[in-house]
């Protein structure tokens, strides 16, 4: 990752934070952190600087096209390029099916699916314009393949959309030498899953052959691999990270 500029959305916590720290500890020159939580961004930025990498924070709302465009313009102005994009920004709600409002549905879709699309679009345009054979890694979910077992229908639908978006983006970007992949975590021990009922967590763990939730670091390692030269012939892949909960 030496010499690479890496943008990670949703970098203030969970998988995004773990991924940012992993890139920083493995030689990336600059980590650009995008999130709507300024305080969390600043905290992660300090952790990155302690690891010897440069960190830049951008308050970015991925559901807002103007915010995304402005964020990429800032990156271009400061670094003149982007090598890796990790689309980690997302929200997970557990609202029962019959109680999901249109407003809540749109909120989840706009963050998880539209936000991923907007950032992919901007990153591919930037990479192609500068002749950079970069890498994009999206965050999907096991819910996008089997429906939400704990998360809401809107979350599951948004992640199914991320899967197909990944395939379409990979086909489009291949002519530029840009790779687009996704990871599909099962239940991961993060703030996002802390709101789940104990009964749900127990049931999901019991249905996982490895017997426990994954860690954010488990997902970060897979993201790092897909973004690295070791995955140079992998594109259009959705990599399961679920302890065997889904084998497909």
79 is catalytic: no
| Residue of 23, 72, 117, 155 with catalytic role | 155
**pLDDT of the residue at 196:** 62
Supply the angle between the helices 14-25 and 38-50 in degrees, to the nearest 10.
20
Q: What superfamily in CATH does domain 5-241 come from?
A: NAD(P)-binding Rossmann-like Domain (3.40.50.720)
**pLDDT of the residue at 41:** 93
**pLDDT of the residue at 206:** 76
**pLDDT of the residue at 93:** 87
Q: Are strands 179-185 and 135-139 parallel, antiparallel or unpaired?
A: parallel
In the chain, which stretches have pLDDT less than 70? Answer: 190-197, 199, 201
- SS3 of the chain: helix, strand, coil, percent, to 5: 50, 15, 35
Which helix (H) or strand (E) is 107 found in, with range?
Answer: helix 102-109
**pLDDT of the residue at 207:** 80
């Amino acid at each position: 990752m030496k010499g690479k500029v890496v943008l990670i959305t949703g970098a203030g916590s969970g998988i995004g934070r773990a991924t940012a720290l992993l890139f920083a500890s493995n030689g990336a020159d600059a980590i650009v952190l995008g999130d709507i939580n300024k305080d969390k961004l600043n905290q992660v930025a300090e952790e990155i600087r302690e690891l010897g990498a440069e960190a830049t924070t951008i308050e970015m709302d991925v559901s807002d096209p103007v915010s995304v465009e402005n964020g990429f313009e800032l990156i271009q102005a400061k670094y003149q390029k982007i090598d890796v994009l990790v689309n980690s920004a997302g929200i997970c709600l557990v609202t029962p099916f019959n109680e999901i409002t249109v407003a809540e549905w749109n909120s989840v879709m706009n963050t998880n699916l539209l936000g991923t699309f907007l950032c992919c679009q901007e990153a591919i345009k930037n990479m192609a314009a500068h002749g950079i054979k970069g890498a994009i890694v999206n965050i999907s979910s096991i819910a996008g393949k089997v429906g939400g077992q704990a998360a809401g229908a809107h979350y599951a639908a948004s992640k199914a959309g991320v899967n197909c978006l990944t395939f379409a983006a990979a086909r489009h970007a291949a002519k530029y030498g840009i790779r687009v992949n996704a990871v599909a975590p099962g239940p991961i021990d993060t703030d996002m899953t802390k709101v789940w009922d104990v009964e749900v967590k127990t049931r999901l763990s019991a249905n996982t052959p490895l017997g426990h939730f994954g860690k954010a670091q488990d997902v970060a390692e897979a993201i790092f691999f897909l973004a690295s030269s070791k995955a140079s012939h992998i594109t259009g892949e959705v990599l399961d990270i679920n302890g065997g909960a889904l084998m497909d």
